[in-house]
Structure 1
Amino acid sequence: MSQETHASRTTGPLAGVRVIDMTTVFMGPSATQYLGDLGADVIKVEAPNGDSTRRVGPQGDLGLGPLFLALNRNKRSVVLDLKQEAGIAAVLKLVETADVLAYNVRPAGMRRLGLGYERLAEINKGLVYAGMVGFSQRGRYAKMAAFDDMIQAASALPTAMAQATDGVPRYLPTTIADRSVGIYAFGVIAAALYSRSQTGLGQSLEIPMFETMVPYVLGDHLYGHTFVPPQGGFGYPRVMSPNRRPYKTKDGYVCCLVYHDHHWKTFLTAVGQEHLLQTDPRFQNIRTRTEHIDALYQIVSDEMEKKTTEEWRLILQAGDIPVFPMHTFDSLLKDEHLADIGFIKEVEHPTVGKILDLGVPSEWSGTPPDNHRPVPRLGEHTEEILREVGYSDADIEDMRSRAVI
């Protein structure tokens, strides 16, 4: 566990857990930020030029661009040149008191650095060694590099987009693979920490992007091919319908989900077409509706254009039909519910000034987490962290003179 002096300054269910974060870009940093948000002491080990996302977007010249700010709060930054033996030695020293080491380079790269699991387990048998990789190391893709776009394509997400829209394959306009695998990796790491609490032993973990995203996508879209032989095609029809989209109203767009029997009865009654429940076999039950969902959603779409968003909100809410006006990025920042709970706050960052900070999306009655650390400048905590693990001022000055730090 990390030193008491630091743990005493933190709250949350993971207070006292120390994480060596050797990840970069999106996937790994998102996983380690979740750990830090819940109280872990996350030490981000960076090369002298830092995580590449530091330089993307406004304030990138200061190494604190918006993408980096979104993925690296509640962390401390230490710069080590791992091309030098002294840099590797510093990582090994950090490992002695660590609970988790997270990385997202290929395992062979970690072994070349002398940071493979076998060596680190000899130093710290309780270490949870978590590798976020592109592909399982047991298959033929093991050595391939992986990025979000590549994994989206590999897991057939652009195919689903094409089938559900205009026939043109597209990536989702968010780093869905990186962030989804980051969430899964966070859960896997937390589970391994629980296992260690029972056995006293750490272990090596491998969290591959491709194999995480395949069930993510096929859980919806294997569909008829779930059965052997197949009993239908690929794709959950309701989700794949081109008419599954926000509906245009007289004055904007609204999302509503007409799904259960009572939803359809309420909706068709509201638009004066309740007779369809008896006369149109497509409305008979959820199975027939799913088979014909594109045509039924077109009926909904046609009707929605006849009233305003507010009129539909009142009608549909009264009938217990889920409904929500479509946000823009700008209106999302002004959402009244998020304002009620203080989810989006202006905070003062010591380097770049005021920024918008998003809340931790969980509520804890006994060990509430607290965002206690702003996103660090590159190498901001190098000396502090090295002193914590036993380096003297003279040692640190020597390392600085040789550009190890």
Structure 2
Amino acid sequence: MMKIMVYMFFMIPSLFFSVDWNLFQFVIIFLMFITLFCSGFNFFSSISYGYGLDNFSYGLIILTLLIISLMILASMSVKNSFLSYMFLLVNLFLCFSLVIVFSSLNMFIMYLFFEFSLIPLLILIYVWGYQPERLVSGLYLFFYTLFASLPFLLIIIYFMTNKMTLYFDMEFYIPYSFIIHLFMIFAFLVKLPMFMVHFWLPKAHVQAPVSGSMILAGILLKIGGYGFIRFMYLYEYPFLNYGYIWYSLSIVGCVLVSIICLIQGDVKCLIAYSSVAHMSICLIGLLSMTKWGILGSYLMMISHGLCSSCLFCLANFSYERLHSRSFFLNKGMINFMPSFSFFWFIFCAFNMSCPPSLNFFSEVFILNSMLFYWGNSFIYFIFISFFSACFSYYLYSYIQHGLPFNFYSYSLGNIREYLLMLTHLIPLLFLILGINFFF
């Protein structure tokens, strides 16, 4: 693990001397392939200096490196701007902190970089965001995360004083206190985000540049699920005792958020709310505490990371041409960009979990685990499935069909944009072939 961190650390000087975006992207992808050949399919491997890989962090680290390299590809409008090398530096710091969060074996180091990842993200939103409202959305993001993570720090101090260790592979006998359980997972519930503490997400997504939206949807929401898995493995009884509270909020919230999606007038806002709905399903799978549920949630984290990131890219392609994210102005795109319409269709279908995508398999696993946990869950699942199909269909049909508001034709995208789409699409289709690794 240390080789990956030293590799990233020594990339910093290169950004000040020769800023070559293609080289930076190649270096990140090369690092992804190095990580790909590490063995992550057993309990902690590649352990060095308090960092290691296991089968949960393995996929998420590879996803982080892939999304970071695609962010660079999607942000070519920043390339010729004044602070292009600073943009790469901020992305490198973000990448570095996320890799440490996913590979750390120590709770305090994980907490430290969990908080630090907020700073590069705020810089991305404030410096390269679009509207003046980004100041308010940055404040929402900052205060929600800060408010939720202070109790988590108290829990870490409690572990250190009582158990004298902070390593994840120890067994902690945690009291059945609801307060301790709440403090331990509240930071992750806000990061997911769970329904009721999700208000920061649409604001942050809408005001962030495309790179900020991609990293938020692709990786930062997954820290919540990852932290949940890590702390669930420490001691299961509080989760068995109090899990029904978060389960109930998630299952009701998922239906409500799916309905909220249908009244949005902003394309990015709708995709952001659909992320809340998907992460609620992910939380439902985790709280069922079955092997299928946790595997389904893990696969959903990876599939949602790719699918949602790509939808934000597609929304950005329209924004770059029309300079608007409104549904009322983004109409009749099938006349202008028929080839992009195909990708819109594919990713809207994958967003509502159509086979043969990874999303479909993850929802099948989660549905089984829901029925194990509470037999009547299927009633809610019917609504969740129906409304998610509704908002995905609404997103596609409203943008692609109808009369365009102006008659300027730009039928072709460029090669960079098609490459970006395909790089999101290929892993989503072909990861299904490797699903037997998990059994």
Which structure has the highest helix share of the two? 2
Which structure has the highest strand share of the two? 1
- Which range, TM-score by smaller chain? under 0.3
TM normalised by structure 1 equals 0.25
Structure number with greater CO (CA < 8 Å, separation at least 6) is 1
